[in-house]
Amino acid sequence: MRVFVTGATGFIGSAIVQELLGAGHQVLGLARSEAAAQALAAAGAEAHPGSLEDLDSLRRGAAAAEGVIHAGFIHDFANFQASCETDRRAIETLGGVLAGSDRPLVVTAGLAGFALGRPSTEDDDNPGAAPRLSEPAALAQAAQGVRAMVLRLPPSVHGAGDYGFVPAIIGFARANGVAAYPGEGLNRWPAVHRLDAARLYRLVLEQGVAGARYHGVADEGVPMRDIAEVIGRHLHLPVASKSGQEAADHFTWLATFAANDVPASSALTRQRLGWQPTQPSLLEDLEQGSYFGG
């Protein structure tokens, strides 16, 4: 299949490109710069010049493909609402091109926002995901007849090259001289290795059912205290609980998120697509030490 991939040069997207090429698909990757185009060519993919804001470029990319994976996102947390709007428009535009065909549209969404007190499942709605609009935008496309699927990712997609939330938590530990966890540290984050996530994107592309939600979850829920303990051990720092203002001071922009308890199951995804994670868990990945090099 010829697949148009947005975010093809990103942490997860670059793994998706490798996964698709390895399975015999062709990749047309959205590239917003010459450097991105060169990276795609070096990876064995074709570059499609454009950007998430340039809707014509998205239309052309989708029209030239037999399927679309949307893994691009503008991670500008100072203008998060605007990034979410751009994301929504991009999904609508991609869906508009695929409407009336069986060509798949795989849309990345998140598992943050659930407040169920139990592991969320693929069949649970996630009204707390706003302001991010990826999931409702994809489901709206499915309701209009597009073969659109949602792939929900956990807060930690880990592996070589990770510069997401776990590296941020390591940075806070270094800066403050303490590996902290919020409250009792029992709140849980699900996690997945980027290579396992990439394989799931391919399976959803190939087999996904319109309107379905899939969970890219290998670790159902890793307690924040366990994450802090590995960090403390590797950085030779004390491990401590932080609550209230102390937690806000320590985790700064990540404070609310760090306190989230968002365990998630992927039992239905595994059953429906035959997906089986094989890569190291988050704690194993942290134990291996590459997160503590610099």
* Token pair for 145: 């007849």
Q: Is 258 in the site for ligand NAP (CB under 6 A)?
A: no
> Taking the complex as a whole, how short is the minimal distance between the CB of residue 177 and ligand NAP, in angstroms?
26
Q: From the list 49, 96, 110, 211, which residue makes contact with ligand NAP (rule: CB under 6 A)?
A: 110
Instruction: Verify binding: residue 32, ligand NAP, rule CB under 6 A.
Output: yes
Site membership for ligand NAP, residue 151 (CB under 6 A): no
Nearest residue (beta carbon) to ligand NAP? 10
**Closest CB to ligand NAP among 8 and 222?**
8
Say if residue 154 is preceded by a cis peptide, omega within 30 of 0. Answer: no
**In the bound complex, what is the minimum distance in angstroms from residue 112's beta carbon to ligand NAP?**
8
Collect all residues with Cβ–Cβ distance below 8 Å to 105 and sequence separation of at least 6: 67, 68, 70, 91, 94, 95, 98, 138, 141, 146, 147, 148, 149
Choices 66-74, 138-146, 202-210, 243-251; region in contact with ligand NAP by CB under 6 A: 66-74
Fill in the DSSP letter of residue 292. Answer: G
Question: Which residue, among 189, 202, 194, has the nearest Cα to 161 in the 3D structure?
Answer: 194
Helix axes 194-207, 11-22, angle to 10 degrees: 60
Which residues 6+ apart lie within 8 Å of 223 measured at CB? 181, 185, 186, 187, 188
Member of 11, 114, 189, 251 binding ligand NAP (CB under 6 A) = 11
Interface residue with ligand NAP, options 3, 48, 68, 72 (CB under 6 A): 72
Cβ neighbours, 10 Å, residue 24: 7
Concatenating the DSSP letter of every residue in 99-158 gives: TTS--EEEEEEESTT---SS-B-TTS--GGGTT--HHHHHHHHHHTT-EEEEEEE-SEEE
Q: How many C-beta atoms lie closer than 10 Å to residue 111's C-beta?
A: 23
Total residues binding ligand NAP (CB under 6 A): 26
Q: What are phi and psi of 141, to 5 degrees?
A: -65, -40
Among 74, 150, 180, 203, binds ligand NAP (CB under 6 A): 74
User: Measured from the CB atom, is 146 or 157 closer to ligand NAP?
Assistant: 157
Instruction: Kindly write out the interface string for residues 33-52 of this chain, putting x where it contacts ligand NAP by CB under 6 A and - elsewhere.
Output: x--x--------------xx
Query: Which one of 68-76, 171-179, 254-262, 277-285 is the stretch in contact with ligand NAP (CB under 6 A)?
Result: 68-76
User: Could you tell me the end-to-end alpha-carbon distance of the chain, in angstroms, rounded to an integer?
Assistant: 40
Residue 261 CB, shortest distance to ligand NAP, in Å, is 16
Q: Does 75 bind ligand NAP (CB under 6 A)?
A: yes
Site membership for ligand NAP, residue 88 (CB under 6 A) = no
Query: Which of 34, 53, 184, 249: binder of ligand NAP (CB under 6 A)?
Result: 53
List interacting residues with ligand NAP (CB under 6 A).
7-13, 30, 32-33, 36, 51-53, 71-75, 108, 110, 153, 155-157, 164
